[in-house]
Amino acid sequence: MRRAGGSATRFITCYNVSMTITVELQPEVESRLAAQAAERNVSVKDYIEALLRAFAGPSGSEASTPQRRATELDQWLASHDYITAPPLPDEAISRENIYRDREDSQV
């Protein structure tokens, strides 16, 4: 578009578009999603939105950078805070114990 003085003016329009989707779920799927959301202390809506965002992947403006991957890893780790199992002892993950069955069968 041109103004009277001859200078060009650009109009950039950005839209923040949201979409409402209705999905009919089988009762067992609905109950599993509700249980998973409750484990994470979030609403079912927020939990499903997070699942959809993760499934859709990043947009072009959210291209993966090392910093973004590190942030995503930290978020993923934090999402497992509800797990209360004790960590494995060192001997459980030692090379000798991992390959013990293989070595025993070769003898």
Could you tell me the pTM of the whole model? Answer: 0.43
Q: Is residue 49 part of a domain?
A: yes
Q: Is residue 15 part of a domain?
A: no
Residue 83: domain span: 27-59+76-106
Q: What length is written for the chain?
A: 107
d(CA 88, CA 83): 13
pLDDT in tens, the chain (107 residues): 444 555 555 655 556 677 788 889 899 999 999 999 999 999 999 999 889 888 887 666 556 788 888 888 999 888 888 888 888 898 888 888 888 776 666 66
Q: Is residue 14 part of a domain?
A: no
Tally of domains in the chain: 1
Q: Is residue 65 part of a domain?
A: no
Burial-class residue 88 by CB neighbours within 10 Å (0-12, 13-18, 19+): exposed
DSSP single-letter state for residue 94: S
Helices then strands, counting H and E runs in the chain, come out as: 5, 0
Q: Is residue 22 part of a domain?
A: no
